[in-house]
Amino acid sequence: MNKEVVNYLLAYKNMKIIQRKDMFNFSLDTVLLANFCTLNKDVDKIIDFGTNNAAIPLLLSRRTDKKIVGIEIQGEAVEIAKKNVDINCLNDQINIVHDDIKNYVKNNDKVKLVVCNPPFFKVGERSHINDNEYLQIARHEIKINLEEIIQSAAMILDNKGRFAMVHRPDRMIEIINCMQKYDIEPKRIRFVYPKHNKESHIFLIEGMYKGNSGIKIETPLYAHEEDGSYSKEVRLMFGENENE
């Protein structure tokens, strides 16, 4: 039997998250993306593509009171996501939808912000873990590929709406080319490094639909100190100083 585990959501002691050990659990990528995306006064609703257990909507609820919709294709993940929204009393703000992203964007109103922590690996490419079906779908482009994600974002973004994503640097050129193909102009990039003197292993990118050209490369983000502990910036994202 697959046991669900309830944990505090990072250092937010008034937030909890249910996770299952055999399914995708939220990671640093999730936290970085939730903190990176631009939340300005124009944003009235946020869509999270592939929300899984709703970690990104939960984290975004710490930054905004705007409506958040999490789209998820895996039925069992949807059930966990809905429980997570419920146990944190966020049903008025967060709505979890069981649907294929490609279908959802055809039938819903346009928005000003879409976020996505997508599958990093192409079909046939090996990830670092011997995956079960849940993890394969979360980590590999089985149900949706990179181009389909970006195309879907373009379909549901309003003019000047933003699309924010976290991914691997080795796919950066592919991502930028694909964003421009669908009229999403890259506006911000931030490289994330495990620690100083190491190569970047994650990068964050945000583009604007029908935006003007011109990109900002933001300051590097170092995830860990030399002793392996999380950096101060990451600890702040984790909510460690929230109640101080």
Q: 3-state DSSP call for residue 9?
A: strand
What pLDDT, on the 0 to 100 scale, is given for residue 244? 44
Give the other-Cβ count within 10 Å of 69's Cβ: 19
% of residues, the chain, pLDDT over 70: 80
Residue found under tokens 């873990």: 129
Res. 51 pLDDT band, cuts 50 70 90: very high
Q: Which amino acid is at 17?
A: I
Q: What mean pLDDT do residues 42-66 have? A: 94
Q: What is the mean pLDDT of residues 63-73?
A: 96
Report CA 61 to chain centroid distance, whole Å.
13
> With 60 as the cut, is the pLDDT of residue 86 above it?
yes
Determine the pLDDT at residue 124: 57
Return d(Cα 130, Cα 177) in angstroms, integer. Answer: 31
Of the candidate ranges 83-87, 134-138, 218-222, the one whose mean pLDDT is the lowest: 134-138
Q: What is the pTM of this model?
A: 0.87
Helices of type H across the chain:
28-36, 55-60, 75-87, 101-104, 133-139, 146-156, 172-181, 232-237
CA distance 83 to 18: 7
CB 41 within 8 A of CB 27: no
**SS3 label, residue 63:** coil
pLDDT, average across residues 28-34? 90
CA-CA distance, 35 to 231, in Å (whole number)?
15
Beta strands in the chain (DSSP E): 4-9, 12-20, 45-49, 67-72, 94-98, 111-116, 157-167, 184-193, 202-209, 216-217, 221-222
| pLDDT one-digit tens code per residue, 112-157 | 999 999 865 555 555 554 455 544 545 544 567 899 999 999 999 9
Share of the chain above pLDDT 90, in %: 61
Q: Is residue 1 pLDDT above 50, yes or no? A: no
Average pLDDT over residues 167-194: 95
Cα 77 from Cα 60, distance rounded (Å): 19
